[in-house]
Amino acid sequence: MPLRPKLSLSDLDAIALVDAAIRNTGIFKQVGLRLEKMAPDEQAAKNLIAAFHDKRCAPWCTAFLLGCIGHPAGYQTAKDILLSQAGQLSESYAGVAMAQMRGVEAYDDLHQILLSDQNYERSVREGAAYGMAHVAATELPDDFLAAYDLERLSLSIVSWEAAKCEPQDEWLLSVFNGNKPRHNQLFCAIVAYMVSSNSNPCFPGNQIAAAVQTLLKDESLFIPRRRRNQLQTWLEAR
């Protein structure tokens, strides 16, 4: 009897792909890429959720694959994983998965988790933030700034995600504040990320450059040497 040819991932439907990833988590990324190209499959999501509850699939893998499947049937499970503080990047995967499944509709849920008074681990709030960033709502920079003021998010995450939004100079100047060192550190970090990804030395504008120049002269303000040098180089190139 001739041997049946071995199937590749490209031959499998969503349900079979999920089953393959459950049996071998080493292929989770390849499976995820295939699932993202397919229409959201409710049964694949339900099978994955069942495997998660039966402890046949780890929280991180479940969250990642639910996001790739993209069917809203997995939304509550992804939210539960985010709040479970299971570790192994499960929170980061879960926050993004919620956004992948519900888009803008997930933003309010994620925002509430981010700013919640609950004693969540930092990883939970960061997972919610990554989900919010995936939605890329126009209010993201303001919401992240509020989270930073409440010490819900770190400078590195807020500055990176805010810079990716390419905020206008007016918004950047609202962050700059001579009486708030934490705001000024954030301001410098955002501008540094922005200028590192843009070849136009005149972007951001003159008011931002003047503010940066003022802060670089402030010896009481801590700015990491690498960031300080980067900003100085940008100023000299203008």
Same domain? For 133 and 157 the reply is no
3-state DSSP call for residue 10?
helix
Model confidence pLDDT, tens digit, residues 11-21: 899 999 999 99
Q: 142 in a domain, yes or no?
A: no
pLDDT less than 50: residues of the chain: 1-5
Same domain? For 160 and 126 the reply is no
Other CB atoms within a 10 A radius of the CB of residue 97 amount to 31
Other CB atoms within a 10 A radius of the CB of residue 68 amount to 28
Same domain? For 4 and 112 the reply is yes
Same domain? For 125 and 162 the reply is no
Helices (H), 106-154: 107-115, 122-135, 140-149
Of 86, 114, 137, at which residue does a domain stop?
Answer: 137
Of 109, 137, 165, at which residue does a domain stop?
Answer: 137
Model confidence pLDDT, tens digit, residues 197-206: 876 766 899 9
pLDDT at position 198, please? 78
Of 87, 108, 137, at which residue does a domain stop?
Answer: 137
Q: 147 in a domain, yes or no?
A: no
Same domain? For 156 and 86 the reply is no
State the total domains in the chain.
Answer: 2
Q: 93 in a domain, yes or no?
A: yes
The parent domain of residue 232 ranges over 152-238
Same domain? For 133 and 156 the reply is no
What is the C-alpha separation between 227 and 192, in angstroms, rounded?
7
